[in-house]
Amino acid sequence: MKIIMLGAPGAGKGTQAKKIAEKYQIPHISTGDIFRANIKGGTELGMKAKTFMDQGMLVPDEITIGMLMDRIGQEDCINGYVLDGFPRTIPQAESLTKALAERGEKVDYAINVDVPDENIINRMSGRRACLGCGATYHITFNPPVKEGICDTCGQELVLRDDDKPETVKKRLDVYHQQTQPLIDYYKNAEVLAEVDGTQPMDAVFQDIVEILGE
């Protein structure tokens, strides 16, 4: 079962990807993890990726696809995997489709966790982080016992720059330009499934299970 997770930043697709991986006993693969593993392991592709990252540049698609195909060729992916954070653009999706086709494989499901922008901005701007121990909170859904103070280490909680409403809006604009077209791409490929991401986390997951089967 080869699954791709789609959804705007803050839609909760990473959380759902982890739950899918756990239930169906398949790896949860994020491009960030692949980059870190290849760089740490000193692989040829990892070193190439690092030269771009060190200069603050985007890693070219062919390097990312190369690392991804190496990863999904490993033994733990024999029953499938759930991809989180890739593809992000139509060219990446086309490259992935082509690379999988060369192995006689294809994506089985592209699951879009659909959440309106307004909900995402409210959701993310309510996040608070502890710079001391890394704990995260939400002023509405998961508040600390004492307002503005970390339960774990007692340090002050902050609103991170990337969670500020204006930053979230910019990220959503980029998402709509680059990634939203993937929804049509996978709809045309007849593998798209959409779930309402405004529901509680467990209800979203239940909808996904109904799509994938027990």
- Please indicate whether residue 127 is annotated as part of the active site: yes
From the candidates 18, 48, 50, 171, give the one annotated as an active-site residue: 171
- Please indicate whether residue 160 is annotated as part of the active site: yes
- 63: closest CA among 108, 28, 99? 99
Distance between CA atoms of 77 and 71, rounded to whole angstroms? 8
From the candidates 18, 48, 50, 88, give the one annotated as an active-site residue: 88
- Please indicate whether residue 171 is annotated as part of the active site: yes
From the candidates 23, 36, 160, 169, give the one annotated as an active-site residue: 160
Cα pseudo-dihedral 147, 148, 154, 156, rounded to 10: -170
How buried is residue 113: exposed, middle or buried, by Cβ count under 10 Å (0-12/13-18/19+)?
Answer: buried
Q: How many angstroms separate the most distant Cα atoms in the chain?
A: 56
Whether a cis peptide bond, with omega within 30° of 0, leads into 144 is no
- Please indicate whether residue 88 is annotated as part of the active site: yes
- 5 forms beta bridges with 84, 111
From the candidates 13, 71, 123, 128, give the one annotated as an active-site residue: 13
Distance between CA atoms of 81 and 137, rounded to whole angstroms? 29
Burial 142-165 (b: 16+ CB within 10 A, else e): eebeeeeebeeeeeebeeeeebee
- Please indicate whether residue 123 is annotated as part of the active site: no
Catalytic positions are: 13, 88, 127, 160, 171
